[in-house]
């Protein structure tokens, strides 16, 4: 880390004293403004209607258990055009890059391969049952099943990120956080429930 000398002025002193929004709170407020029906924290079904958390930090140290990442879904079920479950990931700190790492799309020193996503489009219960054996492996932490999934699903789409980037994905599609050997990856995550254009987006942990 390099030390930088900053000349203190009225301008940067006033900026320093300004309150900073937690990134997940900023995302929630921006979604509330942008989505036609608004967005807010999901709440319990009980009479108390207590709100859920608005997301959590995720800190992972290398070496990770799954070198290529663990393929999974966060919600089982066919995709639907009018509703679904999404994950918002804000990356704060990347892990160390290996010396033999392939070049990234922008060759930025801070850019890293964050996610693999497989564009599997199961959109009916019939398709779901036809592929039930393969899809059942998405909820089992078994090395042999992970190898089988990678063979069946084929080449994934790679998502690259830099510190400060937001990545939104449908977690009903198979995906994996790419593993790494050294360093620490820090990110923030929340889930977003999409229940139709006329309904409020619900955010929880």
Locate tokens 């400060």: which residue? 164
Per-residue pLDDT, 16: 63
For residue 148, give the DSSP letter: H
Number of H-type helices and E-type strands within the chain: 5, 9
Q: What is the mean pLDDT of residues 41-48?
A: 88
> How far is residue 191's CA from residue 175's CA, in Å, rounded to a whole number?
15
**Res. 103 pLDDT band, cuts 50 70 90:** low
Closest residue by Cα to residue 194 from 82, 52, 88: 82
Instruction: For 136-149, write each residue's pLDDT tens digit.
Output: 888 888 999 999 99
**Res. 11 pLDDT band, cuts 50 70 90:** low
Helices assigned H by DSSP within 18-60: 23-34
55 burial via Cβ count (<10 Å: 0-12, 13-18, 19+):
buried
Per-residue pLDDT, 159: 95
The average confidence (pLDDT) of the chain is 87
């Amino acid at each position: 880390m390099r030390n930088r000398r900053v000349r203190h002025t009225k301008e940067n002193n006033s900026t320093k004293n300004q309150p900073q929004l937690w990134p997940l709170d900023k995302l929630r407020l921006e979604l509330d403004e942008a989505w036609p029906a608004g967005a807010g924290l999901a709440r319990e079904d009980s009479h108390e209607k207590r709100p859920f958390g608005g997301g959590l930090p995720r800190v992972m140290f290398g070496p990770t258990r799954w070198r290529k990442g663990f393929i999974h879904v966060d919600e089982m079920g066919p995709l639907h055009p009018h509703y679904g479950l999404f994950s918002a990931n804000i990356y704060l700190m990347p892990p160390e890059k290996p010396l033999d790492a392939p070049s990234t799309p922008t060759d930025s020193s801070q850019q890293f391969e964050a996610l693999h996503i497989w564009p599997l489009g199961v959109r009916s219960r019939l398709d779901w049952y036809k592929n039930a054996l393969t899809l059942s492996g998405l909820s089992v932490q078994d090395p042999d099943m992970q190898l089988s999934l990678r063979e069946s699903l084929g080449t994934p789409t790679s998502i690259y990120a830099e510190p400060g980037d937001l990545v939104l994905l449908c977690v009903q599609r198979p995906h994996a956080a790419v593993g790494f050997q050294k360093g620490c990856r820090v990110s923030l995550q929340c889930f977003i429930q999409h229940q139709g254009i006329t309904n409020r987006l619900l955010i929880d942990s």
